[in-house]
Amino acid sequence: MKHILALLIIIVFTSCAEKQHTASEQIKTYYNGYKNSDYKLIKKALADSLTTAFGDYITTYSQQSYYEQFKWDSIFKPDYELVDLSYEDGQLVATVSMHSLKLEFLKNNPMSCRYQFQFTAGKISRIKELDCKDVSWTVWQNEVNALANWIKLHHPEMDGFIHDLSMKGALDYVKAIELYKNREVD
């Protein structure tokens, strides 16, 4: 009887260790997809639906709608680096450093954030932003406001680009940054 109980304990611990390993690998695959601009890698790591929680913004994506988000993000030429992967309160938490044209303009480049991951059937199903300790949200908001207000005044045809998460919106965002940087200062 003792042998059966010991065997069951070993099986349970081995199973838990395999699940943790698999979850870690899925997160690594996810960020390798971003690092290599390869959505196929990201898709491989995702459940059928993905919920992201960034502050008050909670969004649920299908794999196809997340691909649209990926394309939007790619316009800003991001560079993601998985800095650390650890367990906190039984959940996997990734620390990620990001660089991009948008973050550079918003004077928060690089930006380092911690994300908690949840899984369904071994695939990433939820990503929750825990914190971004080195980010100045005040500076970020001031830069966004200055850009949006200047565009609204000088290029009203582009107004609304900040909230347009399509490819066109991302292209307009980059164009707005360039126009703003090259403006004639009165």
pLDDT (tens digit per residue) in 139-168: 999 999 999 999 999 999 999 999 998 899
Please give the mean pLDDT across all residues of the chain: 87
Q: Does one domain contain both 129 and 158?
A: no
pTM of the model: 0.81
Q: Does one domain contain both 87 and 65?
A: yes
**Number of domains comprising the chain:** 2
Q: Output the domain CATH number for residue 32.
A: 3.10.450.50
Q: Does one domain contain both 17 and 60?
A: yes
> How does pLDDT run across 51-105, given as a tens digit for each residue?
999 988 899 999 999 999 999 999 999 999 999 999 998 889 999 999 999 999 9
What is the residue range of 96's domain? 2-135
**Does 120 score more than 90 pLDDT?**
yes
Q: What is the pLDDT of residue 55?
A: 87
Q: What is the pLDDT of residue 89?
A: 87
Share of the chain above pLDDT 90, in %: 75
Q: Does one domain contain both 112 and 144?
A: no
Q: Does one domain contain both 97 and 183?
A: no
Return the HEC string of the chain: CHHHHHHHHHHHHHHHHHHHHHHHHHHHHHHHHHHCCCHHHHHHHEEEEEEEEECCEEEEEEHHHHHHHHHHHHCCCCEEEEEEEEEECCEEEEEEEEECHHHHHCCCCCEEEEEEEEEECCEEEEEEEEECCCCCHHHHHHHHHHHHHHHHHHCHHHCCHHHCCCHHHHHHHHHHHHHHHCCCCC
Q: Does one domain contain both 107 and 177?
A: no
Q: Does one domain contain both 59 and 147?
A: no
